[in-house]
A and B are shown apart, each in its own frame.
Chain A
Amino acid sequence: MTVLLEARGIGKRFGGVQALHDVSLTIRRGEIYGLIGPNGAGKTTFFNVLTGLYPRDGGEVMFDGEPLKLGSPHEVTRAGIARTFQNIRLFANMTALENVMVGRHARTKVGVGGAVFRFSSARAEEAAIHRRAEELLHYVGIADHANDLARHLAYGDQRRLEIARALATEPKLLALDEPAAGMNATETAALKTLVEGIRADGVTVLLIEHDVKLVMGLCDRVAVLDYGEKIAEDVPAQVRNNPQVIEAYLGGSLEH
């Protein structure tokens, strides 16, 4: 397996707090890679640095053989990393379909002239955006809600819509920030199937998750963050027995 993403020595501090300290990790093409850790371990911070939302204080990221320009989220997306958010961020007053259509922005190019005069190329592109968006809604299983406003969707469907929107950007790496948060067991199981399907279709997945059981069952490899440092990176079976990891979780939550 070849390397898709290699992060080296990522650091981030907020005021006096060192949120990330020299974090390095390697994600291979085609795997589902889990990032776990207790509350406040720096998972989401790492995510936000990786996707360009926060400026980093050190380190670099190689993505798909190129240095990744961190610092502007839209360029990270264009480079091929798409993300979802821990607290779902949809365009609440747009329909589900429109949400996914916005996701096609980076891969399409009709500008003002094309929009106003509707050249045949512009019409073709718009039709393709529409078609692809419908396919993606179907793919994540919410095609029935295409014309509902995003904020009217059920919670689980909102999560799915966010994933569809992220997939619309044609990512090589799909980064999911706690996709199972707030889901019941049935919804979580369905989510697991969806993520496995996405990987089967050739998209590498980075998963931040609180639900350790889900991570262990789904991921090929797992990294553990604690106090902003990576304390383990291995296959789930090894990580589960790593004394440092058990220490970090103080016994409890690893098993439930």
Chain B
Amino acid sequence: MDIFLQQIFNGLTLGSIYALVALGYTMVYGIMGLINFAHGEVVMIGALVALAVMAPLAGSGLPGPLVVLIGLAAAVLVCMALGATIERIAYRPLRNAPRLAPLITAIGVSIVLQQLAMLIWGRRYHSVPRLLPDAPHEIFGATITEVQILIMVVAALTMAGLMLLVNRTKMGRAMRATAESPAIAALMGVDANRIIMLTFVIGSGLGALAGVLVAANYGIAHYHMGFLLGLKAFTAAVLGGIGNLPGAMVGGLLLGVIEALGAGYIGDLTGGVLGSNYQDVFAFFVLIVVLIFRPSGLMGEKVAERA
């Protein structure tokens, strides 16, 4: 019971972060049908920028949470600018190009970002100062830290805000219209370029937030952290049904929980043959199984073949 609950807590924390990153993938995909391969690296840049701002401030006597907020603000600003730049340089010129061309530029961008980060921050793992309250609490025999609670709450509030933005505002309506049909949206006076750029900016901002939360949760950051995180988050987006915002959230949480439970129980289930180092296999295995039975993801719309 306590291991189970413990893994659920850990899974929900991890899953909240996956969900935030997955939103970035799914928003861009929903609007332009593009896998923004560089998104994971944007998350990494967010974490490292926040760290660069927080590290010198950590000893200044400012209260920890305030330092984190300042770091977060810096990360969000940098990543939003980064997202806009990436869209402008690497994707916009290729809107009408063969389908794989923007995928290759996306890969190019992520290589560039990773190498830049390595040149700036080096190859080593950076430890992130503990600035947030992380006292453990016991609930039914399982431990949950205050940071974990904070991550879940922040992620939930952010996602709620995003849903309001997309469903209740004029801008959100323009985004949905552009996703539906860029041509018709343009006829209705929607500036598609602006909407697409905005999508990148918002997605990147969410990515920066996720990056800061990951760093806060695990206490480390490094130039290579974006890769696997991005991969998992994209998996989560596909799991939920790519292009679908609630799908990304559900997919993220589900993936986090599955991974945590998988890591916790795989040893017992297989009589010790497989260990927790197979955690990553779980994510992809679940993805493959889900897609085989529900080819459009859990919450994706069924796309009928049209004649």
Contact = CB atoms under 8 A, between A and B. Distances in A.
B187 interface: no
A44 interface: yes
Interface residues of A, number: 9
B307 interface: yes
Nearest to A83: B307
Contacts of B268: none
A86 B307 CA distance: 8
A17 to B, nearest CB: 13
A204 B307 CA distance: 22
A48 interface: yes
A196 B304 CA distance: 35
Interface string A5-34: 000000000100000000000000000000
B305 interface: yes
Interface string A82-120: 000110000000000000000000000000000000000
A48 to B, nearest CB: 5
Contacts of A177: 307
A254 interface: no
A44 B304 CA distance: 15
A63 interface: no
Interface string B291-307: 00000000000001101
A91 to B, nearest CB: 16
A54 B306 CA distance: 9
Interface string B265-307: 0000000000000000000000000000000000000001101
Nearest to A53: B307
Nearest to B302: A15
Given A48-B307, A54-B304, A86-B307, 7 more contacts: A14-B304, A44-B307, A47-B307, A53-B305, A53-B307, A85-B307, A177-B307
6 contacts: A14-B304, A44-B307, A53-B305, A53-B307, A54-B304, A177-B307
